[in-house]
Structure 1
Amino acid sequence: MRVEIWSDIACPWCYVGKARFEKALAAFPHRDEVEVVHRSFELDPGRAKDDAGPVIPMLAKKYGMSEAQAEAAEDNLGTQAAAEGLPYRTRGRDHGNTFDMHRLLHLAKERGRQDELVQGLYAANFAEERSVFTEGDERLVGLAVAAGLDADEARAVLADPTAYADEVRADEREAAELGANGVPFFVLDRKYGVSGAQPAEVFTQALTQAWGARSPLRLIDQADAEACGPDGCAVPQQS
C-alpha cells in the first residue's frame, strides 16, 4: 500500500502531522508493506527565493493579532509539537521560499533518502537556530549530505533551477486535482484522503480502511484539523 503525503517544509502542522501519522503507522500490523512518498506543495509558490522574514511579525500581520498574541500561538503550537516528541523553536524562526527544498526532495526520492531529507529539513526549520532560508545553498547541501545524498549532486540540482522543477509543479497540480487546498494532505492507496494534522487514531482508521477496502478516494474525518493553506496556517489558541 502506498501513502502519499503532500506537505511543505514551512508548514508547522505538516511537521506535527507527520509525527502523528508515523505513530499510527508504527502500530499498524502491515507497516512493513506500506510505502510512504512525500509530495510537493508550496504554501507560497510565488515568493521570491531571497524573500525571507521572521515568523512572529508575519503571523501578527496575517491574522490581525498583536505580536504578543502571535508569540502565545507559537507557544501553544510548541506544546502540541512537544506532545509528539518534537522539538519546536517558538522564537527566532524565519520563513521563506521552499521551492529548492522540494527540488532536493525529488532527488532524494530517486536516491531512496527522501524521508531522511524531509525529516532533516523539518528539524532544521523548526528546531535549529540556523536558518534554512538565509544561509544560501550550502546550508541545504549540508542537510542533503546529512540525509545521505552526495554533496556534488545536491549542488548541481541547486545550481540548475530547472532540475526537478517539473516534478514539483506536477505534484502541486495533482494536489489541486485531488481537492487539496491545504497541507498536510495524506492519500492512502488512492482510496482515502486525510486532511490536516489529525490525531493518530484517525490515521489508524484510515490505514485500516484503505488496507481492506476498494473504493474511490474519500476524505476521512471532516473535523477542522489544523493545516496550512495558501492563506496561512491555522493558529492554535490557548486553552
Structure 2
Amino acid sequence: MTTRVEIWTDINCPFCYLGKARFEQALSGFEHRDDIEVVHRSFELDPALPATESGPVIPHIAAKYGIDVEQAAANERAIGAQAHALGLPYRTSGRDYGNSFDMHRLLHFALDQGRQDALLDALYAANFAEEAPAFADTERLVAVATGAGFDETAVRAVLADPHAYAEAVRQDEREAAQLGATGVPFFVFDGKYAVSGAQPTEVFTQALTTAWNDRPAPVVLAADDTTCGPDGCAV
C-alpha cells in the first residue's frame, strides 16, 4: 500500500521551487520512499493575467504586495540565497512573470505520460535559472517541453487545443479551494495531513512518517490455519 502526496504548485512561485527541493530531500532519506506516490497539482497565483503578456517580475511583485521596488529586489536576493543553499540555480534579477495556465495543462499531459516530475523541473529551470523569458511565448514553452524529452507534435497539439486538460487544471484549483489552500506550495499527505509553504526538510520528514504510520492495517476477512503451515502455503 502506497502513501500518496499531492503537491499544489505554480511555476511563478519561487517558494514552490524551494519547497519541492526540501520535500525531495526528506523523501530521499525516507525509509519507505519507494512506496510514496507523488502527484503535482495545479494552482494559479495570478489566473487573471492575459496569456499573451509578461513583464519583469520585480516591479510586478512590488505592485502586487504594496512594497517598493528596492524591497522586492531584496526579497528576491533573499530567496536566491535560500535556493543556492539547496544547490538550486536562481536568477535574482531579469526574470519575468506571466499566466501559467498552459504550463499547468502541459503538466497534466505529462502526468498521462508518466513523466510529470521531469516537466515540472524543466519549467522551474526555465523560470528561475535560464535567461530566456519563460512566459507568454508558445515557442519557448514548446522548447522547454521538448528539451525535457516530450514529443514536439504531441506538445503542440495540447497547446493548440485550449480545451486539452483545461478541466483537469480547473478541477485541481477547485479542490485546492475546498481544502482551504490560499497559497502554494500546499502539500497533502494521503488526504489527511497538510503542510503549507516551503517548510524545512524536517517538517516534510515528520509528515511522511505520520502519514505512513497512519495507513489502515489490512483487514483479514477469512483465515484457515488448517490449510497452510505457520510460514504460509508451500508451492
Using the size of structure 2 for normalisation, the TM-score is 0.88
| Residue of 117, 131, 134 corresponding to 1:132 | 134
Query: What amino acid is aligned across from residue 60 of structure 1 in structure 2?
Result: A
Task: Supply the RMSD in Å over aligned alpha carbons.
Answer: 1.1
User: Displacement of 1:159 after TM fit?
Assistant: 0.5
Runs of 4+ in 1 over 6 A off after TM superposition: none
1:33 is matched with which residue? 35
Indicate the percent of aligned positions where both proteins have the same amino acid: 66
Q: Deviations over 1:132-167 (max 9, x none)?
A: 114x21211111112221100000000111100000
Distance 1:56 1:97 in 2: 16
Give the unaligned 5+ runs of structure 1. Answer: 216-239
User: Displacement of 1:199 after TM fit?
Assistant: 0.3
Give yes or no for contact 1:113–1:147 (8 Å, CA) kept in 2.
Answer: no
Q: Deviations over 1:43-98 (max 9, x none)?
A: 11122101211111112222333222221111111001111111110010010000
Q: Deviations over 1:108-151 (max 9, x none)?
A: 000011000001000110110001114x2121111111222110
SS of the residue aligned with 1:4? Answer: strand
2:12 is matched with which residue? 10
Give yes or no for contact 1:113–1:148 (8 Å, CA) kept in 2.
Answer: no
Query: What amino acid is aligned across from residue 106 of structure 2 in structure 1?
Result: L
SS of the residue aligned with 1:2? Answer: strand
2:224 is matched with which residue? none
* Aligned length in residues: 214
1:157 is matched with which residue? 158
1:232 is matched with which residue? none
1:48 is matched with which residue? 50
2:223 is matched with which residue? none
Give the unaligned 5+ runs of structure 2. Answer: 217-235
User: Displacement of 1:214 after TM fit?
Assistant: 4.7
Q: Deviations over 1:2-23 (max 9, x none)?
A: 1110000000000000000000
1:200 is matched with which residue? 201
1:85 is matched with which residue? 87
1:236 is matched with which residue? none
Report which of the two structures shows the higher radius of gyration computed on alpha carbons. 2
